Amino acid sequence: MAALLTATVVAGLGPILIYVWAPPPKGQRKSGLKVSLQGDLTSIPPKSVVQFNAPANSAFLMATGGGQNSPGDATFGGFLVNPGEGQQLEVFATRCPHLGCSVGFSPPDGIFKCPCHGSQFNIKGDVIHGPATAGLATLAWRRGSQPNEIVVDGLILGQGQ
């Protein structure tokens, strides 16, 4: 009986321990990822959002977290937001902090909506309707060398990159 119980515990814990303590796959490295947007950063109207995706074979790294999102977690998309009222541009991850679904922006309502469980966030990324209890995670970014370019902290994936 003891052998059977031990084998069951080892079979269950083995994959979990490998997942938690495994080193990152070879070939991954942190980098600033250049993203070209359709328009000049200065031409983004107040209270509007520009969605973008990570370049091929890369992911963005979340700078902040909350809920199921933690700083350093990967996401494959982002939103550049001009909240208006003379505020700074912000960049949010597309991942919902509730269970990780991809949120979308609804221009008529001016809010982010999660299609999976109905969480909603205002244009500043704050929760306005649950079940999410934390706001949208932010991405660390800076202006790029071109007027329509931003550079977002990220991770280049895969071998030989």
DSSP string, 27-59: T-EEEEEEEE-SS-GGGPPTTEEEEEEPPTTEE
Is pLDDT of 160 > 50? no
Q: Across residues 132-143, what is the average pLDDT?
A: 94
- Alpha-carbon distance 127 to 32, whole Å? 29
Top-confidence residue, 10 or 3:
3
**C-alpha angle 27/16/2, rounded to 5°?**
145
Q: What is the pLDDT of residues 11-25, one digit of tens each?
A: 666 555 455 555 555
Q: What is the pLDDT at residue 20?
A: 52
Kindly report the average pLDDT of the chain as a whole number: 85
Is pLDDT of 53 > 70? yes
For a pLDDT cut of 90, what percent of the chain falls above it?
Answer: 61
Token pair for 8: 């069951």
